[in-house]
């Protein structure tokens, strides 16, 4: 198993891509700590010995600091942090986005990485572990009606590369995955907010040149690789997991 003996923190791991990643990490032998805002422990995680579920608002520094200590108390170490928690709604242009909405995007999508890294870094230095961020293809190419979201993910990409430079001397790798469309509860909600909601499913299938909009398991497979020793010489990489969508996304 590729992750045998690893302790991995996954933020936003109670649903969507994060949940698929948590499942994949456990399958590959890891012990997983899920940090999520959801108060009710998902049925799949209740009583699951390799999984520690911590109710946590990852945009709150004190809560993240406390959550990291709970992970250490339970498992004794941290080998990887997967910063997956993020929001994509509401979908608006910059001038239509309120100040509170803009701040919430940055707090959840960007500040959370700052907090998890700040408090997990002392433990990652010991294990010479790694950090993985969930970004998005729109962080590179932009997207209409998504000013705050695209800005936050563009920042995640730049931050990933800067962190890779800073932490390489410590033996810590830092990478990101950049999906296009992925069917998750968040994407379902996003679809209802679009001007032509009825055609969204067909649209999302069409933009991926491999022919379909996938589930989160395809992203999880890439994340397992990037966290594992198989990717031991990869850092500062923003890996597309997009079915080739970026090749024809503007059509």
DSSP 131: E
Percent of the chain with pLDDT over 70: 95
Cα three-residue angle 15-56-93, rounded to 5 degrees? 65
Burial of 46 (0-12, 13-18, 19+ CB in 10 A): exposed
249 is catalytic: no
The continuous run of DSSP H or E covering 195 comes out as none
Segments of the chain assigned E as strands: 7-11, 31-36, 51-55, 80-83, 130-134, 173-179, 238-241
Higher pLDDT, 67 or 48: 67
pLDDT of residue 167: 98
**Whether residue 249 has pLDDT greater than 60:** no
The continuous run of DSSP H or E covering 181 comes out as none
pLDDT tier at 250, thresholds 50, 70, 90: very low
Lookup result for tokens 């997983």: 32
With b for 16 or more beta-carbon neighbours within 10 A and e for fewer, the 193-208 pattern comes to eeeeeeebeeebeebb
Q: Within a domain: residue 185?
A: yes
- Determine the Cα–Cα distance for residues 121 and 130; give it in Å rounded to an integer: 10
Does the reported pTM lie above 0.75? yes
33-42, 100-109, 225-234: segment of lowest average pLDDT = 33-42
Q: Which of 73, 76, 34 is nearest to 56 (CA)?
A: 34
Percent of the chain with pLDDT over 90: 74
Cβ atoms of 233 and 12 closer than 8 Å: no
Q: Within a domain: residue 2?
A: no
38-42, 46-50, 215-219, 222-226: segment of lowest average pLDDT = 46-50
pLDDT digits (tens, 9 = 90+) for 167-224: 999 999 999 999 998 888 877 877 777 777 778 888 888 888 888 888 999 999 999 9
Q: What is the mean pLDDT of residues 223-230?
A: 98
pLDDT of residue 48: 63
- Determine the Cα–Cα distance for residues 222 and 2; give it in Å rounded to an integer: 12
pLDDT tier at 52, thresholds 50, 70, 90: very high
- Determine the Cα–Cα distance for residues 156 and 150; give it in Å rounded to an integer: 10
pLDDT digits (tens, 9 = 90+) for 90-125: 889 999 999 999 999 999 999 999 999 999 999 999
Annotated catalytic residue within 149, 167, 203, 212 = 149
CATH number at residue 214: 3.40.50.720
Q: Which domain holds residue 22?
A: 7-247
Q: Within a domain: residue 63?
A: yes
- Determine the Cα–Cα distance for residues 248 and 244; give it in Å rounded to an integer: 8
- Determine the Cα–Cα distance for residues 29 and 38; give it in Å rounded to an integer: 25
Q: Within a domain: residue 1?
A: no
- Determine the Cα–Cα distance for residues 231 and 239; give it in Å rounded to an integer: 12
The sheet carrying 80-83 orders its strands as 51-55, 31-36, 7-11, 80-83, 130-134, 173-179, 238-241
Q: Within a domain: residue 100?
A: yes
pLDDT of residue 54: 97
Q: Within a domain: residue 133?
A: yes
Cβ atoms of 20 and 10 closer than 8 Å: no
Q: Structural domain tally of the chain?
A: 1
pLDDT tier at 251, thresholds 50, 70, 90: very low
**Whether residue 33 has pLDDT greater than 50:** yes
- Across the chain, mean pLDDT equals 92
């Amino acid at each position: 198993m590729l992750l045998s003996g690893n302790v991995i923190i996954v933020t936003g791991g109670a649903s969507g891509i994060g949940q698929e990643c948590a499942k994949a990490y456990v399958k590959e032998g890891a012990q997983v700590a899920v940090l999520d805002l959801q108060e009710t422990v998902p049925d799949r995680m209740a009583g699951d010995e390799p999984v520690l579920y911590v109710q946590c608002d990852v945009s709150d520094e004190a809560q993240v600091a406390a959550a990291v200590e709970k992970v250490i108390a339970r498992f004794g170490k941290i080998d990887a942090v997967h910063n997956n928690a993020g929001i994509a709604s509401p979908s608006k242009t910059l001038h239509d986005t309120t100040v509170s909405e803009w701040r919430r995007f940055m707090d959840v999508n960007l500040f959370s990485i700052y907090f998890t890294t700040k408090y997990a870094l002392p433990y990652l230095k010991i294990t010479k572990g790694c950090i993985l961020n969930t970004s998005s293809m729109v962080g590179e190419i932009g997207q209409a009606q998504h000013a705050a979201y695209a800005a936050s993910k563009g920042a995640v990409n730049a931050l990933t590369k800067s962190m890779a430079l800073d932490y390489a001397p410590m033996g810590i790798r830092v990478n990101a995955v950049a999906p296009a469309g992925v069917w998750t509860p968040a994407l379902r909600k996003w679809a209802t907010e679009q001007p032509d909601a009825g055609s969204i499913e067909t649209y999302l299938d069409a933009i991926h040149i491999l022919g379909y909009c996938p589930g989160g398991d395809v992203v999880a497979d890439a994340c397992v690789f990037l966290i594992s020793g198989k990717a031991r010489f990869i850092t500062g990489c923003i890996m597309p997991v997009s079915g080739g969508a970026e090749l024809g996304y503007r059509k």
